[in-house]
Amino acid sequence: MSFMDMVYKRESCRSYQDKPVSRELLTKIAEAGRLAPSGCNAQPWKFIVIDEPEAKKKMCEALVVEGGATGCPWRESAPAFIALVEEHANVMPAVLDYYGDSQRFAQGDIGMAAMNMMYEAEDLGLGTCVLGLSDQKKMEESFGIPEGHTVRMVLAVGYSAESKEPRKKVRKPLEEVCSFNQW
């Protein structure tokens, strides 16, 4: 399958088979994230793979924020999760001097790591979904995350329970989001 075929095929998965994902496959997904590009090669990330029942229960609790809101009502059906945590970025002195912020590129870097992970999962026959809403305090307490290390997103990972043609992607027209040489 070509890369663009995969881009058209990959979509968020919110319905999973009751089938565990092997550590071997989860490790391959984490490796794809590790190999992602990052500003100044800072690699400002830590990936926490959640695949044991008690840890999954804690993750499901952490995916509900104060007041009961969740972006993941189907969370208990996901066989595994990967939390992408922002680490301190060691950037070149010129970047730090110019921006005054070592974390200037960190969130984008984590996004690139997540995309690598999602495409690797797709290639391995697994579905994923990005989860952005989580309780940081619960994450810290449940998974030993040091204070000041923010969980930027969580990936749900598993075998899709649905076997269907990918839905048509609804996106802005290319002409609206891309131009050449000026705005």
75-90 pLDDT, tens digit each: 999 999 999 999 999 9
The predicted structure's pLDDT at residue 1: 84
pTM of the entire structure?
A: 0.95
Task: Tell me the residue ranges of DSSP E strands in the chain.
Answer: 45-50, 80-86, 127-131, 151-158
Chain CA centroid to CA 171, Å: 20
- Strand (E) or helix (H) holding 143: helix 136-143
Lowest mean pLDDT among 114-118, 136-140, 161-165: 161-165
